Amino acid sequence: MATRGLFAVAAAVLTSVLAAAGVILAVLGGDGGATTAFAIGVAFGLPSVVLGVVVAVRRPDSVVGLLLVLVGATAVWLTVGELCGLLLARRTDLPFAQWYAALSQGDWMFLYVPAALLMLVFPDGRLSGRRRRWAAAGLLAVPPLFMLIAALDPAPFRPPFEAMPHPVRVPEPCLPVLRAVAFALLPVFLGLLIASAAAVVVRYRRAADEARRAQLKWFALGAAFLPLTLLLCWAGYLFLGGPEPAVVGLAAAALAIPAATTIAILRHDLYDIDRAISTAVTYGLVTTILLGFYTAASFVAGLGAGRSSPVAAAAATAVCAAALSPLRTRLQRWVDGRFYPARQAALTTVQGLRGRMHAGQARPEQLERAPSARRPGKCRFPMARRPPGNGVHT
């Protein structure tokens, strides 16, 4: 096994040990909220760790498997760190506890780094191009710098470290400079994340072979579950008054992204990915539009019947139900025509010919003579060629 594969397996073993240590800390800490957060973090992180090991073993020469392991390992590390912080917060006299409290103020940035690096190197595992190398260097440099600056800020630490003294005192004249640098690092980090996502789009547009394009489509399909979290959060506020359903979206994304990445690397031809993307985009648009309809209808009906009135809810539901069926059909046709014009043209030709056949105006052999079947670059149908003679088999 190559060195990268060994690193991935070692990182997975360390993550398992860290998760086991988290269980012990959860028992010792006894804090219900932190224990729940730890359980959720481990549940979200372990699928990525396991599938990352599978990719690393099957493709030991690629860094994709290692990064996939690190995506899950980072989630486990941060949740275990929360449990460790609860125990150290009780020992304000320990210098180690003070430094831990200081450095943990800015560690949230590390949660995004492995996923962003994965987007930069997917699917071949290489950093091709100067811009991607600069983006990778920025992703590795900005989080530690931000964490150090946040540790030096004399403002009170976030819970549970409010009473923890600062291990280092920064001179007062230096504080404006430090805070200005910390504030500037936030948009820089956001720009690096956007650049990482854009690298996937650029690589797809420049891909010359269908295999690589299929791999990138699988990766995009897995990442599409992240907007689902926002839609579920929106729906939660509409129907339940809180963002609790967003946890379902996070769980789906935590499973879909590593699963789609694994399929893209090992079995990119497993399923018709174009159909999966078309369906996902269509239902995502339908859900967004219906939530917008429901929000607007609830607001308008609530002006007359009251915001919490059953009449307002019934009216909003009726509007959404009436719009659902034709909306989904039209959106599906638009998405297919926008993303897969050749396929949509072929399907339209077949459907039109079938309608004329039922009306007695055409025969199946006439499919090749249909306009969309003869256009340059469109799909041709050699199996539908007319037989010799008058079109009747002898």
Distance from C-alpha of 356 to C-alpha of 361, rounded to nearest angstrom: 5
Extract the tokens encoding 344. 């949509």
Nearest residue to 104 via CA among 121, 124, 83: 83
- DSSP per-residue codes, 112-176: THHHHHHHHHTTTT---SHHHHHHHHHHHHHHHHHHHHHHH--SPPPTT-TTPPPSS---GGGHH
Range in 149-163, 192-206, 207-221, 351-365 the model is least confident about: 351-365
Sort 300 into a burial class: Cβ within 10 Å, 0-12 / 13-18 / 19+: middle
Average pLDDT over residues 233-256: 76
- Is the predicted pLDDT of residue 2 greater than 80, yes or no? no
Question: What confidence score (pLDDT) does residue 135 get?
Answer: 93
Report, as an integer, the average pLDDT of 222-243: 74
Q: According to the model, what pLDDT value does residue 394 have?
A: 34
Read off the pLDDT of residues 181-199 as tens digits, 9 standing for 90 and up.
988 998 999 899 889 888 8
Average pLDDT, the chain: 77
Helices 210-223 & 246-266, crossing angle to 10 degrees? Answer: 170
68 pLDDT band, cuts 50/70/90, is: very high
Q: Say what the pLDDT of residue 117 is.
A: 92
Q: Which amino acid is at 299?
A: F
* Among the ranges given (31-35, 290-294, 372-376), the one the predictor scored with the smallest mean pLDDT: 372-376
Which is nearest to 40 in space by CA: 253, 199, 189, 197?
253
As a residue count, the chain comes to 394
Residue 126: closest CA among 222, 212, 210:
212
Q: What is the mean pLDDT of residues 232-239?
A: 74
Token pair, residue 59, equals 């493709």
- Cα–Cα distance measured from residue 129 to residue 106, given in angstroms and rounded to the nearest whole number: 30
Asked if residue 79 has pLDDT above 70, the reply is yes
Hey, how many other C-beta atoms are within 10 angstroms of the C-beta on 41?
Answer: 25
Residue 248, pLDDT above cutoff 90: no
pTM of the full structure: 0.72
Of these ranges, 12-21, 33-42, 352-361, the one predicted with the greatest mean pLDDT is: 12-21
The C-alpha atoms of residue 102 and residue 149 are separated, in whole angstroms, by 10
